Copies of this chain bind each other. A is one copy, B any other.
Amino acid sequence: MNIKPLGDRVVIKVLENEETTKSGIVLPGTAKEKPMQGEVLAVGSGELVDGKRVPLELKVGDRVIYSKYAGTEVKVDGEEYLILRQNDVLAIVEK
């Protein structure tokens, strides 16, 4: 991947997983709720606080939960990514 996010932003690859409703029906992609987990592909240079860069807590490879509808979807070389501010990432899911 060749996207370098600016400042306190990270680039996320959204994780989608097949899901089964309680009645046992597998829902196709469009009927599901918007996914809220992703994997961090790139991190920015940090947040600017009082003229100093504070490095981000997130690092490449982190699996994260993020706020629904947060960020901006971008498409580069046919691939879709989500660019989020670190502040819109709620938590890291440890594997």
Q: A residues bordering B, Cβ < 8 Å?
A: 2-7, 9, 11, 36, 42, 45, 47-52, 54, 57-58, 65, 67-68, 72, 74, 76, 83, 86-87, 89-95
Contact assessment for A91 and B3 in the assembled complex, using a CB-CB cutoff below 8 Å? yes
Chain B residues, CB < 8 A from A89: 6
Chain B residues, CB < 8 A from A52: 51
> Known: A50-B50, A83-B65, A83-B91. Is A6-B58 also a contact (CB below 8 A)?
yes
Contact assessment for A54 and B51 in the assembled complex, using a CB-CB cutoff below 8 Å? yes
Contact assessment for A3 and B50 in the assembled complex, using a CB-CB cutoff below 8 Å? no
Contact assessment for B91 and A74 in the assembled complex, using a CB-CB cutoff below 8 Å? yes
Contact assessment for B74 and A11 in the assembled complex, using a CB-CB cutoff below 8 Å? no
